[in-house]
Structure 1
Amino acid sequence: MKVVDLLIEARWIVPVDPAGVVLENHAVVVDNGRILAVLPQDEAASRFSAKSHKRLEQHVLIPGLVNLHTHAAMSLLRGLADDLPLKEWLQHHIWPAEAEHVSEQFVYDGTLLACAEMLRGGITCFNDMYFFPGAAADAALASGMRAAIGLITVDFPSSYATDADDYLAKGLAIRDQRLEQPLLSFCLAPHAPYTVSDAGFAKVLTLAEQIELPIHLHLHETGQEIEESVQRFGVRPIERIRRLGLLSPALIAVHGVHLEAHEIDLLAQHGCSLAHCPSSNLKLASGIAPISELVAKGINIGLGTDGAASNNRLDLFQEMRLAALLAKQQSGRADALNAHQVLHMATLAGARALGLEAQIGSITPGKAADLCAVALDDLVLAPCYEPVSHLTYAVGREHVSAVWVAGRIRVEDGQLIESNETGLIKLALLWQNKIRP
């Protein structure tokens, strides 16, 4: 009998790959941080002896969720200047607050707070875009969380860097210093077409091709963004970046709210991925992304929360439910986006966009044991006819009972194992007093 690190038995297991499968009374065998086997519980008991044994009698076990777009440190700006149009919100409130307060310590503390929130909600990996990415990487590692760290590029100076060359040089140095960290990966993160010049994009593209990194970019978020691009460059943003050569399987286009049919075709033809952030899009009145049309074209779509300043939750269960409901309303078809498809978006699709599909995103032997257990024994979830339907339409992040990252437990009985929640709340209050005395 083989001795392994961990054996998890669950009432239901949803591996995500193969699609549409729900396994009943199965077990996941974990050793050295990786999934060794997925098999019926009786067979697992006869073949393996585990150092740690977890029984989840009325739970569904799913892959850890992948938050494909966020600005984690902006958790410290949660609720600042709500209910304003995007441009006013950014230019008169968020950007001035950032100019005054953003520092390495701000990013480290804000990312710690975000990681705690995300882990408690079943998110095991996040794709970040913000200043001082080294501080974000260190906070993710301190939290024991997997992160794709965006090496941000903009054309304007900040407390972090002076110009596009400086942003890229500092970002590459951060990557080089942390290449051996197994929980970290990296993206090039030019902020948006309206904050990056053609020359800046050219440098990003050259680097992306040289070191094979994804490109994480806001694209077609608002109608105003498109109008300004037509005035400045004579074309819509997606056409501009097409001419610059950025449309490729490496591109993670964030938002994609205002897309015409031929632009959807372009994304499909070039194998681009899209990060869909429904709550943020609605809260900022940016619009509703044409998800049913994007799905019909076979575009890889993951889910993101955006930052807590514009959502105000880092909650992928909420994004799953909203994505499904909006797709139904927009298309006029109740079957436009089913529960299994939405769970795929929140897991394997996000992993694929980040180039991590061989490592995470499904409960598959050989992959890292990034796992999330959801308790379905709550009164408000009874009865349960179909667990994946519950995950999309009924479950809340409060029902997450256990979370593992690379086989190491990070949340148990709904509580963070290694984070001081009281200390994090005090930290957030200290920053609140600085930002708005």
Structure 2
Amino acid sequence: MQVDLLIQARWIIPVEPESVIHENSSLVVDEGKIVDLLPTEQAILKYQARSVEILDQHALIPGLINCHTHAAMSLLRGIADDLQLMDWLQNHIWPAEQKWVSEAFVRDGTDLAIAEMLRCGTTCFNDMYFFPEITAQQAMQHGMRANVGLIVFDFPTVWAENADAYLTKGLALHEQLRHETLISTSFAPHAPYTVSDGPLRNVITYADEMNLTVHMHLHETAHEVDEQKGKNGQTPLRRLHDLGLLTPSFIAVHMTQLSAEDIRIYAETGGHIVHCPESNLKLASGFCPVAQCLAAGINVALGTDGAASNNDLDMLSEMRTAALLGKGVAGDASAVSAMTALQMATINGAKALGLDGEIGSMTIGKAADVVAIDLSELETQPMFNPLAQIVYAASRHQVTDVWVAGKQLLKKRKLTSFDLPALKQKIKLWQERLQERPGD
């Protein structure tokens, strides 16, 4: 039988079924889909492939899903470090954005983010930022899978003048993108403290009608929770629950400030959490009680947040931090295992985005979003358990090859759709602009 691609690997970790690791096996890909997974000896006899990749020192995993990003903010990496969240936002990030964010800023910043994410093994990202049409355009140009946030604020920005305008533009963009195979959309009201009840009710109505997810920062800091309580005695979570926003289509990002009662209430709604451990640590925002949330039946995915607050988009590093921090917060070394961390970075993200029928694991019929990691490096030797080595020891520089829907976007560490010297020159120009001071 003739197929497009045969990837022979030392190990294949499909994620589903859980904890299964295939040795000396091959992934068979045709027309962008996984059509078989079987021992390499059998694959050679059964299939004639137009292209064969022999990766006999590598592990294959499903493409990583970065479930919360602000991709274009990669241009602000390192511009305001070592600050608390509200100081960082109000006195540094928002003023820089007000001055510089434009279609060109989002185009170049998104290109930088996509290039970095592919080199880290990420094949899908869930974004929230201005000019989402540009984010979608750049993702499509590079063959990257993306869920693009239809952002909503109460106040005017460079993209829209008020909440109604954000929704109108978002609805038009959703219509424009709805037939794109690699692009999906979510409503993305920024946060409880930046979006009032009226626009949130409109988001609920549209999301229900259009069967779209809603992606929102929630309970990121103690300040956010205390401020809301001071206004009406409610936590932000309780306010959104009373509005009817918390449903199985809701994706809450951060959730570092959670009581046992909050966890119980949120579990009952069927909503999802995106854990961003490194950003939360860097901004001293708090700790999401991941083990408790998982034990309550909440689906917990993983994201990096933007490179302005992380300061990278490295999902391998994020998995390690999530596993280690989860153990420390729970006081239990068995909490957030290597397998759990990998699930958070793959199938759990797919579930949150409503894409688990298409991506998140290497099972027959799903899209061939695949990452190859070279485990022969000194830093991942000796080899007792490839899954543990990926989560606890491997680095992003060991990601050698990446496919999205069967198309190779990273080949032997080289990006196939980027002119890197040209991209670096654009980033250098942005650096010079962003360093300008008033009067320059």
Q: TM (normalized to structure 2)? A: 0.98
Note if 1:104 corresponds to 2:78: no
What residue identity is the alignment partner of 2:318? E
In the TM superposition, 1:30-179 aligns within 5 A as 30-179=29-178
Structure 1 CA distance for aligned equivalents of residues 203 and 91 of structure 2: 29
Q: Is the 8 A contact 1:151 1:171 kept in 2?
A: yes
Note if 1:289 corresponds to 2:288: yes
In the TM superposition, 1:264-283 aligns within 5 A as 264-283=263-282
Give 1:43 shift: 1.3
CA root-mean-square deviation: 0.7
Structure 2 CA distance for aligned equivalents of residues 211 and 424 of structure 1: 37
1:55-114 Cα shifts (integer Å, max 9, x gaps): 110100000000000100000100011111111111111000101111111111110110
In the TM superposition, 1:153-302 aligns within 5 A as 153-302=152-301
SS at match of 2:308: helix
SS at match of 1:157: coil
In structure 2, the partner of 1:339 is 338
The number of equivalent residue pairs is 436
SS at match of 1:241: helix
Give 1:234 shift: 2.3
SS at match of 2:106: helix
What residue identity is the alignment partner of 1:175? H
In structure 1, the partner of 2:315 is 316
Q: Which runs of 5+ in 2 are unaligned?
A: none
In structure 1, the partner of 2:435 is 436
Structure 2 CA distance for aligned equivalents of residues 136 and 308 of structure 1: 15
Give 1:421 shift: 1.5
State the 4+ residue runs in structure 1 displaced beyond 6 angstroms: none
What residue identity is the alignment partner of 1:422? P
Structure 1 CA distance for aligned equivalents of residues 272 and 390 of structure 2: 23
1:212-238 Cα shifts (integer Å, max 9, x gaps): 000000000000000111122320000
SS at match of 2:252: strand
Give 1:193 shift: 0.2
In structure 1, the partner of 2:410 is 411
SS at match of 1:310: coil
In structure 1, the partner of 2:365 is 366
SS at match of 2:83: coil
SS at match of 1:130: coil
Q: Is the 8 A contact 1:233 1:240 kept in 2?
A: no
In structure 2, the partner of 1:394 is 393
What residue identity is the alignment partner of 1:348? I
Identical columns (%): 52
Structure 2 CA distance for aligned equivalents of residues 137 and 342 of structure 1: 28
1:358-396 Cα shifts (integer Å, max 9, x gaps): 000000110000000000010111111000001110011
1:197-250 Cα shifts (integer Å, max 9, x gaps): 000100100010000000000000000000111122320000000000011110
Q: Which runs of 5+ in 1 are unaligned?
A: none
Give 1:46 shift: 1.1
Q: Is the 8 A contact 1:25 1:40 kept in 2?
A: yes
1:95-139 Cα shifts (integer Å, max 9, x gaps): 001011111111111101100000010000000000110011001
What residue identity is the alignment partner of 2:305? D
Structure 1 CA distance for aligned equivalents of residues 353 and 325 of structure 2: 25
What residue identity is the alignment partner of 2:403? W
Q: TM (normalized to structure 1)? A: 0.99
Give 1:414 shift: 1.2
